Structure 1
Amino acid sequence: MRGYFGKRREHGAEQPAVLGGLKLRLPFVHYGMEFPDWIQGAILCVVPMGITAVMMDTLGIPFELAIAFVIINNFMYLLHTHFGDPAIAGWITAGIPLYVGFLNGFPAGEERIQALIALQLTVAFIFLIMGVFKGADVLVKRVPVSLKAGILLGAAMAAILGEFAATGRVWKMPVTILIGAALGFFMMFSKSAGPLRQKYGLFRYIAQFGIAVPFALAYGFGILIGEVNLPVLNWSFVALPIGEIIANYSVFGLGFPPMEYFLKALPLAVAAYIIAFGDILVVSTLLKSANQARPDEKIAFSPGRNSIIVSFRNFLQGLFMPYLPLSGPQWTAGQVLALNRYMNSSREQNDSYWGGATGIFWGMSIALLLGPIVSLFQPGIHIGMALTMLIQGYLCGYLALEILKDEGNLQKGIAVLVGAVLATKGAAWGLGIGIILWLLLEKDWTTAGRSVAEVTIVSEDSAQAKKAE
């Protein structure tokens, strides 16, 4: 069903919008409500709840305020889909262990909050520059492969080591978390999962929810064996104490961070951007596949628009409510979820991509406002975050090795060193060591050492210049 009363889209065109280049699309006016996506979003509200555990441990924020941060952040995701960016936005997830390590280098309390403000505002500035001046090629495409792979390896090592450290989440409820991880890895990555999806519709339906089902099964089992406390249900709505957040966690209450905090945050902000740029490449590829599968609608993706909206989210949060996982370009699991239903539906079943892309966050955000749902899952927030970080560690490690697949042993060795230093000593040390190793080992300082390809290019340029004369 169409489900809205706005202008009808022509076959193969973009969904209608207003405000010209801003491409503002409003529910019921420019797209209909896709309630299956609302339901999927509501089920997946357990995923963003996981970050409350990290915020409580690292920043000392009480759960009642941490969940308010999550809710406000979730509603801000809708800025993308309401202003012409089709990305299902998310965190810069792979860097979370690196942010925690950076913040732990500051005294707990106001100084640590100010350090997070400095980091988030620096990330916002980088995204703004890259979005406005289209500088992604300069910062990412010209970054040595060994350094990019090393950053991903460092994020992978930090994620996994953090969960299995002596004070890691795994040991808070070992049986529950390890069972949840086993189920999650099986459903998402095993060789058996693909054939099972093709053969059984029920398995395919369950698998599309990502870690939500493994979380629910592990959570229930943890309650049965006594590792997880029984939830105490709260039947009221979740409060959003905006005044308290601004007074105690914003630049207006704590003051602007010292300049030295920004200088310390800069290497990590650069690493966070390099990680996040991988998400921009992924969403671009996924949306190209959607355009091929559904020729009735053109989904236009602009990396510049995406980066500017990400910058705005980070600026806003950095000023008013610093958010530990930062604001990133895409949530891959949610992107796949929305696209999977859209690509496998006809126009009669799902008129426009935008209904589902907005619906997933409407459903999730509203579910997070409901006290019974939040209190039901509150005892399991450590499970959700542990599963998120273990799976993120696997993905980052896999991507790093994929980048290095066609590279030589020199690049692979540098990547391992950068990753190990970054995971143990932080982004500044990791990037510094990576640049020094690249200059010492990879950079060819001799004119005689130029490759055949370089010589060929120079020769061709010289020949073309003579021909032009």
Structure 2
Amino acid sequence: MKSTQEKRHELPYAGGPLKLRIPFIHYRLEYQDFIQGAILSCIPLGITAAMVKVLGIPLEIAVLMVVINNFFYLLHTSFGDPSISGWITAGIPLYISFLTGFDPGPERIQALIALQVLVGLIFLVFGLTGITRWIIKHFPVSMRSGILLGAGFASLMRVFDPGQPFIGKMPVAFSVAALTSFFILFSSRALKFRARSNLFTWVAGFGIAPGFIIGYCVGLLTGEIAPPSGVFDRIIIDAPFGEMLSSFSVMNVGMPSAGQWMAALSLAIVAYVLAFGDILVLETMIEDCNEARKDESIVFEVRRNHIITAIRNGVQGLFLPFLPLCGPQWTGGQALVVNRYKHSTPDQEPSYWGGATSIFWGMSLAMVFHPLVQIILPGKLIGFGLTLLIQGYLCIYLALTLCNTNVQRGIAGIMAAALVSANYTKLWGSAFWSGPTMALIVGAVLFFVLEYEKKEKKGISQAALSD
């Protein structure tokens, strides 16, 4: 147990440098965050629709993969990383487009294994070497904006495509869910309601969950969503671990080919770049917590976050390939935990770690119970669609905010168009020449031609001015 003078404000922990914290020993579970997590279980379950369609995974195995992934989130808050972790959500449409370039079945699973393991290796290398901050500082703003803009467009194009099941199959239910969520999250009038109504503030604290519930009920009334069935068939969900490992892990499908590793490399780089923003947001939120609460010091280390994220991607990539990949932070969940912690007294919430861990205990345990899963599953497409819609909104908003000049905006726009338009068509017969590759090449060329200026040495610059 650590108890040094220099760390007197940091919550005690065991396990030496691993900073292991155990519930009921180092912190108490917070029932409010536990309940929020249980309600928000609709969000991770939303990805099962894409996993079934794109990867050909049976629904029971897809649900099991989501549950296991959620328990892996606890690695962060249990071992000293304050991140409310999640997916690398912005790239989901990009991953889907990439995977559809391979034949369904083992070849497509191998491509996902290659992608996720490469993402894990990138996190591991950058975490061990400590060069992440240097990359964030020097990666051109225009190129970062272009990737975010392209990912945002890709998300929204998928949502509004009539051939997709969001607007195409449930126009009323999804529109109501989307408008409700947008009002709660982004409306200036909603901010005024929060100041006047404690009830609205409480409801708004659940993020997109109220929009999901309202849209789900509307869908049941309009017939766009089928009523849940088999709710009480059993208490605990099926857990076909053997079938998952024997059919969809590297032990059965085999290691990816050299061509698949090469094809996935550029997209793995893009996925890491997309995670840059999450890392920056996480740092800012933790600093805000430390400013608001002087009774506890919350320590965020980029290296620790990267190593744990690398472990998640490596293990899951090999044994349960996970379509959305494993990212360093889930902004929506992070905001919920941070907001409640900041506005609580030490008596109301003694430690940040109680809320940060409770939200995932609530979410993970809720998904283990079959009745709750069966109730939520008919509306899973609403949860997935809302995730894409909100992510698209935020990506475009952040992309436009990053740019300071018209040159940067122009580069970002062209790079985004290259990313979306290439759409992972196998140019020259190779999957490597796909959207991410073309976007990175186009962005880099335009940056060096239009924006880059070599900094002159101070002495030379002053001499030139004097002449």
Q: Aligned match of 1:456 in 449, 455, 458?
A: 458
Name the amino acid aligned to 1:271. V
35-44 or 134-143, larger mean C-alpha shift:
134-143
- 1:38, 1:9 → 2: CA distance? 31
Aligned to 1:303: 302
Offset, 1:442: 2.7
Verify the 8 A CA contact 1:170 1:386 in the aligned structure 2.
no
Name the amino acid aligned to 2:444. I
Verify the 8 A CA contact 2:2 2:14 in the aligned structure 1.
no
Verify the 8 A CA contact 2:172 2:218 in the aligned structure 1.
no
Q: Confirm or deny that 1:339 pairs with 2:301.
A: no
Aligned to 1:244: 243
Name the amino acid aligned to 2:445. I
Q: Confirm or deny that 1:365 pairs with 2:364.
A: yes
Offset, 1:43: 0.8
Q: Which runs of structure 2 are paired with 1:227-242 in the superposition (5 Å)?
A: 227-232=224-229, 233-234=231-232, 235-242=234-241
- 1:101, 1:46 → 2: CA distance? 24
Offset, 1:12: 5.6
Aligned to 1:199: 196
- 1:166, 1:436 → 2: CA distance? 35
Q: Secondary structure at the match of 2:167?
A: helix
- 1:118, 1:262 → 2: CA distance? 5
Offset, 1:7: 9.1
Residues 175-200 of structure 1: per-residue CA shift (max 9 Å, x gap): 11111111111110111111111111
Q: Aligned match of 2:444 in 415, 420, 435?
A: 435
Offset, 1:30: 0.9
Offset, 1:135: 1.4
Aligned to 2:96: 100
CA RMSD of aligned residues (A): 1.9
- 1:155, 1:171 → 2: CA distance? 21
Verify the 8 A CA contact 1:12 1:296 in the aligned structure 2.
no
Offset, 1:141: 2.3
Cα distance, 1:29–1:7 mapped onto 2, change above 3 Å = farther
Aligned to 2:429: none
Aligned to 2:389: 390
Q: Aligned match of 1:414 in 397, 411, 436?
A: 411
Q: Which runs of structure 2 are paired with 1:207-356 in the superposition (5 Å)?
A: 207-232=204-229, 233-234=231-232, 235-356=234-355
- 1:76, 1:118 → 2: CA distance? 20
- 2:460, 2:399 → 1: CA distance? 32
Which ranges in structure 2 are unaligned for 5 or more consecutive residues? Answer: 423-434
Aligned to 1:3: none
Name the amino acid aligned to 1:430. A
Verify the 8 A CA contact 1:96 1:325 in the aligned structure 2.
yes
Q: Secondary structure at the match of 1:172?
A: coil
Q: Aligned match of 1:62 in 58, 65, 78?
A: 58
Q: Aligned match of 1:91 in 81, 87, 92?
A: 87
Q: Aligned match of 2:72 in 72, 76, 84?
A: 76
Q: Aligned match of 2:421 in 396, 419, 424?
A: 424
Q: Aligned match of 1:179 in 170, 176, 179?
A: 176
Name the amino acid aligned to 2:76. H
Q: Secondary structure at the match of 1:351?
A: coil
- 2:45, 2:138 → 1: CA distance? 37
Name the amino acid aligned to 1:46. C
Cα distance, 1:39–1:457 mapped onto 2, change above 3 Å = farther
Which ranges in structure 1 are unaligned for 5 or more consecutive residues? Answer: 1-5, 445-449, 463-469
Offset, 1:36: 1.4
- 2:49, 2:305 → 1: CA distance? 28
Verify the 8 A CA contact 1:146 1:411 in the aligned structure 2.
yes
Offset, 1:411: 1.7
Offset, 1:90: 0.5
Q: Secondary structure at the match of 2:168?
A: helix
Residues 107-127 of structure 1: per-residue CA shift (max 9 Å, x gap): 111111110000000000000
- 1:348, 1:144 → 2: CA distance? 45
Residues 127-150 of structure 1: per-residue CA shift (max 9 Å, x gap): 001111011144332222111000
- 1:9, 1:160 → 2: CA distance? 50
Q: Confirm or deny that 1:116 pairs with 2:112.
A: yes
Offset, 1:455: 5.0
Aligned to 1:139: 135
Residues 241-282 of structure 1: per-residue CA shift (max 9 Å, x gap): 111111111111111101211111111111111111211111
Cα distance, 1:319–1:202 mapped onto 2, change above 3 Å = same
Q: Secondary structure at the match of 1:418?
A: helix
Verify the 8 A CA contact 1:87 1:335 in the aligned structure 2.
yes
243-252 or 115-124, larger mean C-alpha shift:
243-252
- 1:350, 1:457 → 2: CA distance? 56
- 2:316, 2:33 → 1: CA distance? 26
Residues 318-373 of structure 1: per-residue CA shift (max 9 Å, x gap): 11001000000111111111111111111111111111111000011000000010
Verify the 8 A CA contact 2:46 2:380 in the aligned structure 1.
yes
Name the amino acid aligned to 1:113. I
Offset, 1:461: 12
- 2:282, 2:151 → 1: CA distance? 20
Cα distance, 1:113–1:457 mapped onto 2, change above 3 Å = farther
Offset, 1:313: 0.3
Aligned to 2:20: 24
- 1:174, 1:187 → 2: CA distance? 20
Q: Secondary structure at the match of 1:170?
A: coil
Name the amino acid aligned to 2:9. A
Name the amino acid aligned to 2:328. P
Verify the 8 A CA contact 2:60 2:240 in the aligned structure 1.
no
Verify the 8 A CA contact 1:421 1:429 in the aligned structure 2.
yes
Verify the 8 A CA contact 1:206 1:213 in the aligned structure 2.
yes
Verify the 8 A CA contact 2:155 2:391 in the aligned structure 1.
yes
- 2:199, 2:23 → 1: CA distance? 31
Verify the 8 A CA contact 1:238 1:371 in the aligned structure 2.
yes
Offset, 1:44: 0.7
Q: Which runs of structure 2 are paired with 1:5-20 in the superposition (5 Å)?
A: 13-20=9-16
- 1:317, 1:336 → 2: CA distance? 26
Name the amino acid aligned to 2:352. Y
Verify the 8 A CA contact 1:37 1:338 in the aligned structure 2.
yes
Cα distance, 1:437–1:198 mapped onto 2, change above 3 Å = same
- 1:116, 1:363 → 2: CA distance? 29
TM-score, normalization: structure 1?
0.92
Aligned to 1:467: none
- 2:460, 2:265 → 1: CA distance? 37
Cα distance, 1:167–1:23 mapped onto 2, change above 3 Å = same
